[in-house]
Amino acid sequence: MAPETYSGHLGDMLLREGLVTNEALEEALRRQRETGQPLGRVLVEMHAITEQVKLNFFHKHFGHDVVSLRDHEIPDILYTYLTRSTAMKFRVIPYKLEGDTLVVAMEDPSDLVILDNLKAQVGLRIRPVIASFTDIEAALETYPGGDEDEEVIWEEPPSFATRLIKYTFFPALAFTPLATVIILMIFSDGFQYILLHPPMGMDTVDFVLSITLIWGLWALFAYELDGILVNPEHRD
């Protein structure tokens, strides 16, 4: 299902401005959950707002330019930054290049999930501009680089819990033993005694270095485990 990153926030903003009614918004949110389409597009298809009202709303609240793609000629070089599959997946069109920034035309510039994915894939800064749904769809129909009839499947972005695990699994696993040792050093009289009277004839410095070495090996193991279970891209 396609994400609507700020569907609730966007709906509240439209409601506060008096652009939609409570009934229309509730129905739009229901349809959005079923279809996965952006909330703004659903409201337009319901005739709750017009396409122009939607464009003006995004421009007013997010400050991005509204552009027309109908007479805009896209330089061929831009197609090398965004493949057809990526453009189709995220429903975006490369508009122009400004230094190290790729300007992309999209329907909903508030969708940070799409912007973050584009930045990661392209390796450039991404600046959105706003285009109508019909302009974007027309541009996608003639987008070069693949079978025009290929099926594009939207992959639902990971949930908050999944992202939390993805970004915290390795540091939590790697640093938990070290944090445990530090806590024991501060609060455990028995551990403090072991530090001052290390086993096997080692002095305190050797004992601490041994603990550090063991922790370093554990951190390497945690990194490999993270690559296997959570972040396989780390192993590429």
Instruction: Assess whether 71 and 127 both reside in one domain.
Output: yes
Tell me the mean pLDDT in the region 96-105: 92
Q: What is the per-residue pLDDT across 141-195, written as a single tens digit (0 to 9) for each? A: 999 876 544 444 445 556 667 777 877 888 888 888 888 888 988 888 887 887 7
Please report the sign of the dihedral spanned by the C-alpha atoms of residue 175, residue 180, residue 183, residue 189. Answer: negative
For residue 151, what pLDDT is reported? 47
Instruction: Assess whether 116 and 71 both reside in one domain.
Output: yes
Point out the domain boundary residue: 157, 188, 208.
157
Instruction: Assess whether 128 and 172 both reside in one domain.
Output: no
Domain membership of residue 43 (yes or no) is: yes
Instruction: Assess whether 128 and 83 both reside in one domain.
Output: yes
For residue 227, what pLDDT is reported? 79
Residue 57 banded pLDDT, cuts 50, 70, 90: confident
Domain membership of residue 121 (yes or no) is: yes
Structural domain range at position 14 = 7-49
Residue 233 pLDDT more than 60? no
Q: How far, rounded to the nearest angstrom, does the alpha carbon of residue 52 sit from its chain's CA centroid?
A: 28
Instruction: Assess whether 189 and 117 both reside in one domain.
Output: no
Instruction: Assess whether 43 and 66 both reside in one domain.
Output: no
Q: What total number of domains does the chain contain?
A: 3
Domain membership of residue 55 (yes or no) is: no
Instruction: Assess whether 186 and 200 both reside in one domain.
Output: yes
Q: What is the per-residue pLDDT across 111-153, written as a single tens digit (0 to 9) for each? A: 888 899 999 988 899 999 999 999 999 999 999 876 544 444 4
Residue 78 pLDDT more than 50? yes
Instruction: Assess whether 68 and 152 both reside in one domain.
Output: yes
For residue 158, what pLDDT is reported? 63
Domain membership of residue 133 (yes or no) is: yes
For residue 235, what pLDDT is reported? 52
Residue 3 pLDDT more than 50? no
Domain membership of residue 1 (yes or no) is: no
Tell me the mean pLDDT in the region 40-68: 88
Domain membership of residue 83 (yes or no) is: yes
- Give the ranges where the chain is alpha helix by DSSP (H): 7-16, 22-35, 39-45, 51-62, 84-90, 112-122, 133-141, 160-187, 189-196, 204-229
Instruction: Assess whether 224 and 146 both reside in one domain.
Output: no
Residue 50 pLDDT more than 50? yes
Domain membership of residue 118 (yes or no) is: yes
Instruction: Assess whether 94 and 152 both reside in one domain.
Output: yes
For residue 2, what pLDDT is reported? 36
Point out the domain boundary residue: 130, 157, 184.
157
Domain membership of residue 57 (yes or no) is: no
For residue 96, what pLDDT is reported? 93
For residue 221, what pLDDT is reported? 86
Q: Which conformational region is residue 183 in: left (phi greater than 0), alpha (psi within -120 to 50 degrees), or beta?
A: alpha
Q: Which residue has the higher pLDDT, 191 or 81?
A: 81
For the domain that residue 130 is a member of, what is the CATH number? 3.30.300.160
